[in-house]
Amino acid sequence: MKASRGAQKGGKTMSVQRKQYSAELKTKVALEAIKGYKTINEITSEYGVHPTQIANWKKQALDGLPDVFSTNRLDQKKSEEDLIASLYQEIGHLKMQVDWMEKKSKAFR
């Protein structure tokens, strides 16, 4: 019989509370690991985080660094603003056409 996210003790399921770490702590630990001044075991002892978790945070930090210096985010924001501006322009054009059609259709009534 499987217990979901918990251990069975005396027929009762005990839930296991997962630790949640703040972004600040993750950043601090990942930077410690990247710098390499301390071993992973020293960082583990200091912060009480599993070595595998430290390795994962280090990898995430290193993988995300290129995006920090990328201009793609700025380009994407600019293209979104351009799209919104062109859509508003199209709406204005269509509104003018509808108004003109309404005006002309009154003449045929």
90 and 106: one domain?
Answer: yes
pTM surpassing 0.85?
no
Q: Is residue 4 part of a domain?
A: no
Task: Render pLDDT for 8-55 as a digit per residue (tens, 0 to 9).
Answer: 566 677 788 888 889 999 999 999 999 999 999 999 999 999 999 999
Going by pLDDT thresholds of 50, 70 and 90, the confidence category of residue 1 is very low
62 and 95: one domain?
Answer: no
Residue type at position 23: A
Q: Is residue 29 part of a domain?
A: yes
Model pLDDT, residue 11: 61
27 and 62: one domain?
Answer: yes
- Residue 59: give the domain boundaries: 19-70
45 and 81: one domain?
Answer: no
47 and 77: one domain?
Answer: no
- Of the candidates 72, 23, 21, the one whose C-alpha atom is nearest the C-alpha of residue 47 is 21
Query: How many domains is the chain partitioned into structurally?
Result: 2
Model pLDDT, residue 6: 54
